[in-house]
Amino acid sequence: MIDYEMLNTILMFAAAAAALLATAITLAVTVSIFKKILSMMKLPSITLPTIDLPKKTQEKPKSKKQRRTERLSKEASEGITFNDIFMFMIAVPLVLLWVGFAGFVIHTGLNNSAVLENIEAYTTLIAILGGPALLIIKDALDVWKQEQAEKTAFYKVKAQAVIDYNDSAQKQLQMIEANAQEQEHKIESGTVLPNKKK
């Protein structure tokens, strides 16, 4: 026998969570659109009257150059896309809801035999949530694997660069020592030859 009251309660909580999630997504999208519109609009600049001061005290304002790293960090902080909002507002809560509901069913199934009698209804709900959740987890794992591969490739290139640098530094040191010995030998042979002629 299916426990319709418990199933109804779970569905009501899921519907309330989905409504809150939809509201949050709508609010986030509205705020981002509003920010883009404000950044596109050019407000007229207000110029204040200047006071003529003697030339000795009047200084030109120094223009502060914006560093490249500041510009890049500003661009990176403004780069929130729809996919970012989607991941944080839909994907993460969906995966957490799926895991939480599955844990809840397992926990209540161990303590309540009525849940085990209606396990088909619960597994159906878990499967409905689990389909998209598993796709999201698979995509997240693929991205993680790609990041790990990029890190590994970066460290290989970095290690090879260190090895090449050490080899070239050692060759340069050997060349400097060989030139120094050759110069020393020329100096010694230059001083010894005149002595032999005498």
Give a yes or no: residue 65 inside a domain.
no
Rounded CA separation 18/20 (Å): 5
- Let me know if residue 64 belongs to a domain: no
User: How far is Cα 22 from Cα 85, in angstroms, rounded to an integer?
Assistant: 12
Examine residue 61 and state whether it is found in any structural domain, yes or no. Answer: no
Report if residue 71 sits inside a domain. Answer: no
Query: Is 10 among the domain residues?
Result: yes
Number of independent structural domains in the chain? 1
69, part of any domain: no
Put simply, whether the predicted model's pTM sits higher than 0.75 gets the answer no
Q: What is the pLDDT of residue 198?
A: 44
Is 3:120 a contact under the CB 8 Å cutoff? no
- Residue count of the chain: 198
Does a structural domain hold residue 48? no
What is the pLDDT at residue 47? 63
Q: For residue range 107-164, what is the model confidence (pLDDT) as tens digits?
A: 888 888 887 788 888 888 888 888 888 888 888 889 889 999 999 999 999 999 999 9
The pLDDT tens digits of the residues spanning 59-105 come to: 555 555 555 555 555 555 556 777 777 777 778 888 888 888 888 88
Tell me whether residue 192 is in a domain: yes
Q: Distance between CA atoms of 86 and 94, rounded to whole angstroms? A: 11
102: tokens are 């599955």
